Structure 1
Amino acid sequence: MSHPHRHATHPRMVARLKRAEGHLRSVIAMIEDGKPCLDIAQQLQAVESAIRNAKQTLIHDHMDHCLNAEGDPADRDDLKAISRFL
């Protein structure tokens, strides 16, 4: 069984994603309530930005803390694998 994989940035990422979740619920309610498209698009942009920032934080944190500085080939493969999400 694998051990928990946590970094110092994870609590901030969780908070950011929970805010995005709240924004997304608002977007759904706005659509169901027939709110103006401009207002909906603005909220969707906020959700998209929050998720993009969380993803970038995760990837940068992974690069900073998880990759072996000794140049292990497995680390290069790991870097290649995660970089496709940029």
Structure 2
Amino acid sequence: MTEPHVHASHPRVASRLKRAEGHLRSVIAMIEEGRPCLDVAQQLQAVERAVRNAKQALIHDHMDHCLDGDDAGDRNELKAISRYL
């Protein structure tokens, strides 16, 4: 088993994702209630943006961490994770 990989930003990222999760549940309810597609699409855009922002915060924090290290493995991991931006 590997060691936990935790950065200072992880609690904030988890909080953002939990808010997005709640928002997504609301969008699902909107669909089930038959709300207008324009309203649903607008809310889905907001969920997508929230998830994208959480992903970027996580990746940027991780990249900062890798740049602080002198390990070649960190640089390789930096290259690998940057493709998700």
TM-score when scaled to structure 2? 0.89
**Percentage identity across paired residues of the two chains:** 75
**Number of matched residues?**
85
Shift, 1:19, TM fit: 0.6
Structure number with higher helix proportion: 2
- Residue 47 of structure 2 is matched in structure 1 by 47
1:2-60 Cα offsets, whole Å, 9 max, x none, are 11111111111111000100111111111111101111011101110110001100110
Aligned partner letter, 2:13: M
1:47-81 Cα offsets, whole Å, 9 max, x none, are 101100011001100011134543x4322321111
Task: Calculate the aligned-residue CA RMSD, in Å.
Answer: 1.4
Verify the 8 A CA contact 1:68 1:75 in the aligned structure 2. Answer: no
Q: Mark the runs of 5 or more structure 2 residues left unpaired by the alignment.
A: none
- Residue 2 of structure 1 is matched in structure 2 by 2
**Pairs within 5 Å for 1:1-86:** 1-70=1-70, 72-86=71-85
Q: Mark the runs of 5 or more structure 1 residues left unpaired by the alignment.
A: none
